[in-house]
Amino acid sequence: MAKGKYRRRNHQEPTQTNEVEQPKQQKKDTMLDDMARLDFENQMAHEQAGKEAPTYGFWGWLYRMQQKHGHNQLHKVNKKTYILLAVFTGWMGGHRFYEKRYKLAALYLLFFWTLIPLTMVVLDVMVAIPRQPDSQGMIEI
């Protein structure tokens, strides 16, 4: 066991900190979280009012493209068929062709040799399995 000054340094009682004593990094993180929350609320308010939500930075133009091209639409597919296609032909985008997302399916087919689509298939199956099918066995992906 350490003696002397090392013992005192390692076994100090935790002190309660107030806002004045917080480290600068912690204040900065809290401020960034608040700014992100306020920006999100601002975007939601714009969308509810029927105006175009202001988006900034790199992700802003991606968000606008996604909203413009309707990539957030859900497609109804048969759960069993989707999972079987994903498992057996997912590496080449078979489940995406079935889902009628042809651009994404073409990307799977184009990059099948990199094994990136194979990792994406694992994620697609992990998303599809817990979904509850409706009375006809359809899920929204």
Q: Does 14 fall in a domain?
A: no
Same domain flag for 81 and 129: yes
In a domain, 7, yes or no: no
Q: Does residue 126 sit in the same domain as residue 96?
A: yes
pLDDT at 116 over 80: yes
Residue 4 pLDDT grade (very low, low, confident, very high; cuts 50, 70, 90)? low
* pTM score, whole prediction: 0.53
Question: Tokens 């917080």 sit at which residue?
Answer: 22
pLDDT at 43 over 80: no
On whether both 81 and 110 belong to a single domain, the answer is yes
Please tell me the total count of domains within the chain: 2
DSSP state of 83: H
DSSP-assigned letters across all residues of 10-54 = HTPPPPP--TTTS-HHHHHHHHHHHHHHHHHHHHHHHHHTTSPPP
Give the pLDDT of residue 49: 85
Is 84 part of a structural domain of the chain? yes
Q: Which domain holds residue 81?
A: 76-133
